[in-house]
Amino acid sequence: MRYERSWVVGGVLLLAGCTEVGEEALASSRDDFELAAEPSIAQIPIVTSIPLGLWFTPMALEKGDFDGDGDTDLLVTGVEAGVGVTGAVFLGDGAGGFAAAIDANFTACSAFPVAGDVDGDGRTDVVTVGCANDLAVLLGQANGTLAPWSAWPAVEYTPVASTVIADFEGDGDSDVMTMRKPDSVYLDIALGNGGEGIWRIETTEVGNAAWSGFDPSGLALGHFDDDGLLDAALIEREHDIVFMQGLPPATFGFQRELGVDIPPWSNRVGDMDDDGYDDLVVSSRTMPSVQTLLADGVGDFSLGSTVILTGFAPYDTAVGDITGDGIPDVAMVDDAVAQIQWLRGNGAGGLLNLRTFTLPSPAIRIHSAHVDGDNREDLIAATFADDSITLVLSNN
């Protein structure tokens, strides 16, 4: 005999898994966790709201495993009146629940960090703009808070437009890559030394925007060819995307504009056609649409799919395996429309079957991550106008 755990929400019965007789039923929280919220909106997948209740105005949302326990946590950063930039961490329990917010000890001069494991200890760290024309590198601690990394050198970084944490040369050590725009456009690679610090910083000049006519604001990295080095995709919103090949020992070169068909707002990276090479997912706000650009492994891209959107202009985009079939899907939010729209990847670069989920408010950020322990990635939306974070748990 088997029985199912369920909730009744708004008159709708939600089924959430089975156990055998003699097994302990799945609890809604661990002993050391207080759930911020049980599912409050009945849909398939289940949509859950996490109330914020913060002491500051939230501005950004990042995901990661900040305490290193293997469960997805959430970092919200923003500005506290009269104090400055601050942040809070919501620790996940691995079953779709989150503990109440704790002070993250987020000390920086920008409320817009990027997340990744800088020092290789298994806990998520963050990098953002510091208060001395530098970068603030904050390491995740065992209790989920953050602390400055003493090994990071006092190097001037100004002005920083975009940052990515990734392993450039595939040696197993995370590197920090930044795009700076003091006069010309520069890409810096701070090569990590196994968590002990950094070896050196290599800099590539992309070009003067006044000369080239290309003034990028965002940086994405991926393996678009088979040389084992990360390549760069630089975006100038409403204009174009420039591809640059990663070159040994730690530089970028051979830049060229891709000539995208839609005025780009954001670009995300994922292997959309299952050929082993990363591809680009480009979204547009002024011509509401999303398209895939498929890498051929030798530095060229071809158009995979374009989907026109109606009544919805994507503000942020996430790529992840929402359906659990091993193929990346695409989810989007609009900062003026209270919806998530998502498209299923077909494994050949195409995007199909547009679906819509209602949110309690418009969202400014969306992530995909494994929140509840199954093989499907879930969606996390920054519905800050509702004083909440909204989870879409991909249980079907």
Mean pLDDT estimate for the chain: 89
SS3 188: strand
What confidence score (pLDDT) does residue 44 get? 55
Tokens 């990847």 locate to 345
pLDDT higher than threshold 80 for residue 28: no
SS3 134: coil
In the structure, what pLDDT confidence band is assigned to residue 305 with cuts at 50, 70 and 90? confident
pLDDT higher than threshold 60 for residue 223: yes
Distance CA 191, CA 290 (A): 34
What confidence score (pLDDT) does residue 373 get? 85
Q: 363-391 pLDDT, tens per residue?
A: 999 999 999 988 899 999 999 999 999 99
**Comparing C-alpha atoms, which of 110, 64, 108, 113 is closest to residue 89?**
64
Distance CA 220, CA 241 (A): 10
What confidence score (pLDDT) does residue 396 get? 54
Sheet with 146-148, side-by-side order of all strands: 114-116, 125-129, 135-140, 146-148
In the structure, what pLDDT confidence band is assigned to residue 154 with cuts at 50, 70 and 90? confident
**Comparing C-alpha atoms, which of 134, 113, 135, 132 is closest to residue 124?**
113
Distance CA 179, CA 203 (A): 10
Calculate mean pLDDT across residues 266-272: 97
Distance CA 274, CA 265 (A): 25
Task: Find out whether 265 and 252 touch, Cβ atoms under 8 Å.
Answer: no
Task: Find out whether 315 and 323 touch, Cβ atoms under 8 Å.
Answer: no
Q: 120-146 pLDDT, tens per residue?
A: 999 999 999 999 989 999 999 999 999
Tokens coding 122: 């298994």
